Structures are given as C-alpha cells and as structure tokens.
Structure 1
C-alpha cells in the first residue's frame, strides 16, 4: 500500500509568485513602511490622485507585467484590484502616478485593441512630471526601458524620453523650479495673527514650556492668562482652566463685520465684534464646533496687549522663518474635512491642496501658504489644533520634554527635517522640529 504521507517528504520547490500578487504586496509593504507614526504632520503620502479631464488608458501586451513594472519604475500605486476576464486577461486596471490615474488593459485583438508593439511602434507620448527626472529615467532603463533620448536641460525643464517594455513612449520631465514671489510684510487676510495654548493648569504649562522651549512669560489679562514674551515674529499666549487641550487660533481679516456675516452665512456662529486696543475682534465657532476668532487691526497697528485670551494679535510684524520656540506649523483636526474646507473657503478665502496623508490638506492663502503654514486633517472626534514648534537642537529639546514629565519620540528624519512627536505633562499633543 502506498504511504499516504509520502508526498510530504517531497522537497519543496519554490515558484515565482503571480506578478499581480507580488506587485500588490510590495506596494502595501512600501506604503506601510513609509507611513508616518502620527497623521498630524503630513509627511509621507503622494498627492491625492483622481480622474482628470484627460486620462491615459493604455493597451499592453502583458497586463500583469505592466502593472508590476509601472509600480517599480514609475512610483505608481495600486488603486484597486484589476478586473480579470474569464480567459485570464486583465480587462481593466487602475494605477495612480502622482496626482493622476493611469488605466490599462491587456490586448483584445478581437475588438481591434492592440498594444504599440503589435502596431509597429507608439503613436503617442505620455508626458509625466516627476520631482527627479534623472532618478526615474535611470531606474526605468535599469528595469528594461529603452532610452530614446537622454536626460538634458531645456528652457521648460529637465527632460528625457524612454520607451517602456510594452512599447509606450514616455516623456519624463522635472519642470524649471519657480521662484516663489516674496511674501508682503505683515499679515494677510486669512493668516494667523495670534495663538493661545488652552489646557487645564496654566502654572504647570508655564513650568513645562518654559523649560522645554525657553519661553518667558508676562502676566495675562486674568489669572488664567499668560503671554509669551521675547518672540521676534509671533504672538503666543497660554490660557488655563480648559479641559479640551488645543491651540486657539485668531485669524486676521480685512473687514471683521463682513467676515462675521460670512461665518453666519456658512452655518457657524459669530459674536458681535468688540473693540480692543489691537482692533476689532469677534469670537466664532464653525459648523462643526471649532472655536476660533477673527480680528481686524486698526489702520495704525498699536502694540499688542500684554496678554489675554484669546487677545494678543499683531499685524505689523515681518514674516520670516520661525525662531526657536515659535510655531512652525499648525494642523487643524476636524471631524469632516470637506465641510471644513467649504466653511473656511467661504469665510477666509482659503484654498486647499492635497497633503501627504489620507484626508490631509495644505491650506493656501492667495496662492501661497497661510502664515504660519497650516494644514487640515479630517476624521477626528472633535476639532483640535496641534502645533509644531521650531527648536535649534531637537535632541536637547526632546530630553527636556522627558525630564519635564512629558513624552517624546526619538528624533526621526522627515522631508521637512528632523521631527519628534510629543505630549506635555497635561496631555497636550505637539511636535518639535529642528530649525
């Protein structure tokens, strides 16, 4: 009688994995490894890809191989599982490259659909913009592409041409870097004029942030208020007695009365403007419960008051890179990012660009960044503003956080520099980034 377990003694012979499975697994592992530990700072996601007015739809002679090759050579990302026909051919597949979608399918000669190799060569070029054309072209050639034109400089940018292994012609370019226009002096409509850190115990906050960021303080307008003094370009305060730990934000506007009407028209609430030494101010709440303020400085801006909550904005400061202890970035966390974008687009005229994490958005103001740079992130239980503070020596600052009773991750390199995710001794979240 044949031993039924004999088959188990047969040596295992490795086989090549299915290319689609291998490409999908490789991309998922790559995304997981590049994903940041915290979604607040937008660090590692490609721009949001979507269908454009014109979308390439390629016919290839090897759908599985093409999907794998475009992921490895052109930094493509899987959008969904491909549609597999009964005969095994790929009927439809979608990849994202940068902010756009690339569709492809196998050849279907019975419908007159053939790839460029079967028709004698390409009949069109696909124009692809990338951050580093030399790297992309070199990698594509190493993975089997034909170099049709070496990379070189042109008036419109640095450009090279390849023919991929499936016969399609790609013109790959890195455009000429545009010199951003100089930002005008002072705050613009929609910029942040003042921030106040809200937390339960103001005295503990004075001890913690004085030790970590070397902040110095002046008395506020009440027992719960403190004003940070000595910062060159920003107005920052503390306000105690608040259980919801967040950073309160006050936006500069050109016309506070008009802005109040916009807040109300967009579904939010706004108090009647009140006159303060630094201008007219209105306390507001958006349609998702996010509290903020708007202020209109007087024609001749006076000195900011010593402290208040949330008072203290100034309009005449020059806009430079953040100094040690100043805010380098703000992330506004909201439940619904679409509602927030609609609201603040109507109220402050903000525009939004896709960020580096899912449902993350960079805030733009008149074609440039809001001051200080600000992001929006959806999917949170309640609105919270999380700051990023600039420091000269991140390692020293991280040690100070830990010695002062807070927590801090070890410094890690990010596209914008070294960064650490922190929590103070009262549970307030923030980040540190090295100047």
Structure 2
C-alpha cells in the first residue's frame, strides 16, 4: 500500500472532490462501487464528506452551493505552497479563478480555477489536511488526465502556473495509447495531457481515475447501481480502463493496474 503521510510537493495531484446535487445518492453509489466509508469534512462551501478506503482518506464529496449551476463533476486538486500566489499566476496566464483562495476551516487553503480551455481544477495548500492518504490501491485515486483539444497551450499553461516541467511524449508512445504529454514533479510523471477533438468527450476537463481490482466487474457493478459505462473497458499501456458515469452524471474512470 502506498500511504501518503506528508505534504506533497507543489504540482502533484493531492486530492479529488465530487460536486453533486445528491450527496446521499453519491455516498450510496460510490460506497457500494469502491468500498468507501465517509467521515465529516469542512463545510466552508456547503455540505461535505470525506471518503475513506480501508481507514485512509482518499476523496471528498460535496453539494454545490445553492444558486449555482456547477455541473456534477470530479475535480482534481494540485498541491501548492501558496494558494494566493499560484492563483495570481493563473490570472496572469489567462486562466480564471472562480472560487477563493479561501480558508477551509483548519484543513487548509483552497481555490477553484479553470485553464485556458475551461477545464476546472483546484489548488490545495494543506494545513491540518494534507490530502489523500493512499494512492494506487483499489478504491484510491491512481491517475489524472487532462483531455483537451489544445494540448500545446495546456502544457505551457500548467508549466507556468505550477512551475513544473511538462514533457511531450515520444510519437511511438502516443501511438501505443500513452498521453501526449505528462506533468513531471521530481522527474516523475504525476498527471497526463491528452489531445482530443472528439465532440463526444465534451468540453476540456480533468479525468480522475480510481484504481480497482477488476475493471470489467466494476463497470458492470456501476450499471447495476444506477450508473453507466461510457467507454470500455479497454486495455491501455497503463492498465485496463473503463470510463463511467454515476447516477447523477458525474464522470470518472477506473483502472485495473497491471
């Protein structure tokens, strides 16, 4: 088990959070699908719970504030040393800061932003809550991938905002199904950028992948629980993947790691 007990370096994904209009329905679906239990979380932006897998925090689920039209969607948060400073860089680079930076009680400081193509992501300056406590294990986050029609502009944006290298993949690797580019922290890939001009993908967005023991079984179970399979399951260089949607339409992926 890859346990995380320290504050992650700037630029590393450190948390994922679902915004939904049906908190109890989401808890029932993801609890049954991924084996999660739930504990209370900060209520700065409304009702919010933290998902726990095998006793370790892995994700959050919250209700969209009243009067907003926030879609049901998973958001990837990146660790930052100073949420205010990085938020200012987002604005300078042409992005948008929609929420914050603001204090989430004693847990930490957060901001919600969008890049040049409108893909939403979060910033997290951890204090009492450093982020997830386990990755790459069944029920926990495993990978994060930006799907965009302009991967070159995205690479420049995240390199400037997060101060980390974004490296293009070799043509042969892309042909095998790997991402077009990858965000590196300490020389290690932590997230991907994938080109897509397919209108079925919808607008640019960050895709969250959760690790599972069996992608086919999980996709089947999602349908039985009221969700649906959008694509797959299918094999990739990084494992067998299925793109799914929960009963409220929130999109996510699961990956059966090799």
Global fold match (TM > 0.5): yes
1:414–1:267 Cα change, 3 Å: closer
For residue 16 of structure 2, what is the aligned residue in structure 1?
A: 195
Displacement after TM superposition at 1:332 (Å): 1.8
1:397–1:190 Cα change, 3 Å: same
Q: Give TM-score, length-normalised by structure 1.
A: 0.47
Displacement after TM superposition at 1:209 (Å): 1.1
1:377–1:245 Cα change, 3 Å: farther
Displacement after TM superposition at 1:239 (Å): 2.5
For residue 210 of structure 2, what is the aligned residue in structure 1?
A: 389
For residue 423 of structure 1, what is the aligned residue in structure 2?
A: 245
Question: Which entry has the higher C-alpha Rg, 1 or 2?
Answer: 1
Per-residue CA deviations over 1:153-198 (Å, capped at 9, x if unaligned) read xxxxxxxxxxxxxxxxxxxxxxxxxxxxxx9964111011221122
Mapping 1:12-411, distance limit 5 Å: 186-220=7-41, 221=43, 224-230=47-53, 235-241=58-64, 244-270=71-97, 273-276=101-104, 277-298=106-127, 302=128, 304=129, 313-314=130-131, 317=133, 321-350=135-164, 351-354=166-169, 356=174, 360-370=180-190, 373-379=191-197, 381-408=202-229, 411=233
CA distance in 1, matches of 2:178, 2:237: 17
Displacement after TM superposition at 1:347 (Å): 0.3
For residue 434 of structure 1, what is the aligned residue in structure 2?
A: 256
CA distance in 2, matches of 1:232, 1:218: 10
Q: Is the CA contact (8 Å cut-off) linking 1:334 and 1:381 kept in structure 2?
A: no
Q: Is the CA contact (8 Å cut-off) linking 1:247 and 1:387 kept in structure 2?
A: yes
Per-residue CA deviations over 1:358-384 (Å, capped at 9, x if unaligned) read 9833222232122xx444444365232
Q: Is the CA contact (8 Å cut-off) linking 1:283 and 1:292 kept in structure 2?
A: yes
Q: Helix, strand or coil: the match of 1:189?
A: coil
Q: Which runs of 5+ in 2 are unaligned?
A: none
Displacement after TM superposition at 1:199 (Å): 3.3
| Cα root mean square deviation, aligned | 3.2
Displacement after TM superposition at 1:431 (Å): 2.3
- 1 or 2, which has the higher strand percentage? 2
Q: Give TM-score, length-normalised by structure 2.
A: 0.75
Q: Which runs of 5+ in 1 are unaligned?
A: 1-182, 305-312
1:284–1:410 Cα change, 3 Å: closer
Per-residue CA deviations over 1:286-331 (Å, capped at 9, x if unaligned) read 3333333323234xxx2x3xxxxxxxx538x5xx652211111122
CA distance in 1, matches of 2:232, 2:113: 38
Q: Is the CA contact (8 Å cut-off) linking 2:179 and 2:192 kept in structure 1?
A: no
